[in-house]
Amino acid sequence: MRPLLREWSAAIPNELDFAKESSNMQRVQANFRNWRRRSNLESDIKVDVAFAQVEEEFVSEKVLVMSYVDGFKVDDQEELNRHDVDAEDTVLQITRSLALQIFNHGFFNGDPHPGNLMVDRGSKRPVLLDFGIVKELDEEAR
């Protein structure tokens, strides 16, 4: 079996288990909270992203309910312009968040494409969605 197909085949069961996705999302959020507490935000690189909040009482293997985020697709240029969103900074924040997940936390979103990213209309912050496919790296691999 080809490596890409093998990887995808192994990931699909987790992508379809919403209880697992909820757990993954909460772990990534906790990693960010812990990192923010430990970092000196005056001197550290800014990583400014948001997450929808999991509504745990409504989560099962087949259902995942999250808080509503009033936003739009990260690649919707018309909406980015309408809301005066700095597209370059948005990409920078998403890139930094992925680098932090990979190189610092070692637990990261394995499927970061425009369908899994949005921009919050109010805060203009990128919102990370869909943690069904995640990857984990040990210290040596990071």
Confidence (pLDDT) at 41: 55
Confidence (pLDDT) at 38: 73
Confidence (pLDDT) at 43: 54
Predicted TM-score of the model (pTM): 0.85
**pLDDT beyond 90 at 61:** yes
For residue 99, give the 3-state DSSP assignment.
helix
User: Measured between alpha carbons, how far is residue 106 from residues 49, 71, 93, 128 in Å?
Assistant: 18, 28, 18, 17
What are the two backbone dihedrals, phi and then psi, of residue 101, each rounded to the nearest 5 degrees?
-60, -45
